[in-house]
Structure 1
Amino acid sequence: MIIQKFGGVAMQNEEMRMKCINHIKDGIEKFKKIVVVVSAIGRLGDPYATDSLLNLSKAFSSDKAAKDLVASCGELIAASVLSAELHQFGIGNKILHGMQAGIVTSGDYGDASILTIDTTTIYHYLQEVNCVIIPGFQGMDKKGNIMTLGRGGSDLTAVALGDALQASHVQFFKDVPGVMTEDPAIIKSGQKLDSLSFDEFLDFLNCEKPIIQKRAALHAKKTATPLYIRGITGTEKGTWITN
């Protein structure tokens, strides 16, 4: 089985989500079982993006628990939309969220760590359907409080699930074809790299907008979870990150 992670750009509209659905279909055909992790739809300015939800009230600045709860809603909406659209195309799936997902967190609101993952429910539903969808960026502490994992935390969700479920690898679908030698937003002539070690990859994450969350990459290195960074819009080969 594999983990597939779709970010806000991949989820932002029906046209892009159709590309997600095609990648999910390909993943099921090749690997039989997949767990899909989604980020909130779009970016700041889009109605259901995380930053847009956080801007609903200034009061969130003084109520961290409420802030994490509203922040988690973007991924729940994204999971619901993708699930319904997958069903529309005849792809059976199940959303697992909150306690169902089995992700137990600890630490501080807004920057929690994943303590453990109970995979029992995930494995149960993978016997019934080929695709389980889990909202990224969040977990619950031992008291049942929703906690979020910091900016880019859906990446950490995907990697941690990859380790817990002993997945073949974790696929990240991006708006670039893979890890580039130069930042494509600044230098258009950069070349895609076919493979990198974890240490080499970590050097690429020391920037303002890393291709995945650095905490996620460190967790992948620690657990030796292979990563595959690829483009959302095509089927060309991406970049492998391994030991």
Structure 2
Amino acid sequence: MSRRKLGALMIVQKYGGIAMKDETTRKKCIEHIKSGIQKHEKVVIVVSAIGRKGDPYATDTLLNLSKAFDADKVARDLIASCGELIAAAVLSAELNSFNINTTVLHGKRAGILTTGEYGDAEIVHLDPSEINAYLKEMDCIIIPGFQGVNTKGNVMTLGRGGSDLTAVALAAALNATHTEFYKDVPGVMTGDPRLTKESKKIDVLTVDEFLLLLNTVNPIIQKRAALYAKLKAMPLYVRGIAGTEDGTWIIP
């Protein structure tokens, strides 16, 4: 499934709020990052905000800091983007403590240009030049997910689950071999394992088969991200954060 033809191999790994929630789970992330570097040479990491609603740095928690955000969309997107920045800073420091040289690129430095509505922006252009420049010096770069900047330099967020879209868009722009998503389940399942013990992991899906599974309240990845992957013919790999077992490939 290799796509990258020139220079080093490279993958994009996306870690969600559950994977980032505490030091114990982040150590699992670091093990997967180390493995990714060993197998693919270069890894670009996209992170979501730490935890979920009710946790101190989750997006919904930050949005509830002031009712004034309801009337100020620019400020609302700015505060909404902070959870991913915090997560990126934490993971960067922890990776460096494990002697994995990395840095965080955010805002204009991430190269993601957006337009449309605050809170539900669209990516109109992605310039990977600064990311590529840093990848010549180090094997690992962290990008806060869920956000880009418009032509005025204002932060715009990409809608619920937008970090997934960030990961796929970056992978396409960087010509990565594939995009990996780390979850609290071992892959795409035949049913919700919390509701039925008979649920089994699916090994391979086409992107069209996968899209049919995303018409739920809480899809395993954002549907916009899956549609972008289909548009760009980007392979996706959904796997569990807790172990090293094979996950589910979603192929173009």
Q: Corresponding residue for 1:128? A: 137
The answer to whether structure 1 residue 96 and structure 2 residue 108 are counterparts is no
Residue 9 of structure 1 aligns with an amino acid whose one-letter code is: I
Q: Equivalent residue of 1:37, what SS? A: strand
Q: Corresponding residue for 1:164? A: 173
TM-score of the pair, normalised by structure 1: 0.99
Q: Corresponding residue for 1:40? A: 49
Q: Corresponding residue for 1:155? A: 164
Q: Equivalent residue of 1:217, what SS? A: helix
For residues 50-79 of structure 1, give each alpha carbon's deviation from its aligned partner in whole angstroms, at most 9, with x where no partner exists: 000001011111111100000000000000
For residues 96-152 of structure 1, give each alpha carbon's deviation from its aligned partner in whole angstroms, at most 9, with x where no partner exists: 000100000000000000011111100000001100000000000011010000000
Identity %: 65
Q: Corresponding residue for 2:73? A: 64
Q: Please, which of 222, 232, 241 is the counterpart of residue 232 of structure 1?
A: 241
- The 4+ residue runs of structure 1 with deviation greater than 3 A are none
Q: Corresponding residue for 1:180? A: 189
Residue 127 of structure 2 aligns with an amino acid whose one-letter code is: D
Residue 85 of structure 2 aligns with an amino acid whose one-letter code is: L
Q: Give the Cα–Cα distance (whole angstroms) in 1 for the partners of residues 219 and 192 of structure 2.
A: 10
Q: Please, which of 6, 14, 19 is the counterpart of residue 5 of structure 1?
A: 14
What are structure 1's unaligned runs of at least 5 residues?
A: none
Q: Corresponding residue for 1:23? A: 32
Q: Corresponding residue for 2:84? A: 75
Question: Superposition pairs for residues 103-122 of structure 1, below 5 Å?
Answer: 103-122=112-131
Q: Give the Cα–Cα distance (whole angstroms) in 1 for the partners of residues 226 and 42 of structure 2.
A: 23
**Aligned positions, number:** 243
Q: Give the Cα–Cα distance (whole angstroms) in 1 for the partners of residues 211 and 197 of structure 2.
A: 22
Residue 79 of structure 2 aligns with an amino acid whose one-letter code is: V
Q: Give the Cα–Cα distance (whole angstroms) in 2 for the partners of residues 227 and 76 of structure 1.
A: 24
Q: Equivalent residue of 1:43, what SS? A: coil
Q: Give the Cα–Cα distance (whole angstroms) in 2 for the partners of residues 186 and 53 of structure 1.
A: 31
Q: Please, which of 146, 150, 166 is the counterpart of residue 141 of structure 1?
A: 150
Q: Give the Cα–Cα distance (whole angstroms) in 2 for the partners of residues 87 and 7 of structure 1.
A: 20
Residue 32 of structure 1 aligns with an amino acid whose one-letter code is: E
Q: Give the Cα–Cα distance (whole angstroms) in 2 for the partners of residues 183 and 106 of structure 1.
A: 35
TM-score of the pair, normalised by structure 2: 0.96
Q: Equivalent residue of 1:160, what SS? A: helix
Q: Please, which of 205, 209, 225 is the counterpart of residue 216 of structure 1?
A: 225
Q: Corresponding residue for 2:205? A: 196
Residue 236 of structure 2 aligns with an amino acid whose one-letter code is: L
Residue 36 of structure 1 aligns with an amino acid whose one-letter code is: I
Task: After TM superposition, give the deviation of residue 242 of structure 1 in Å.
Answer: 0.6
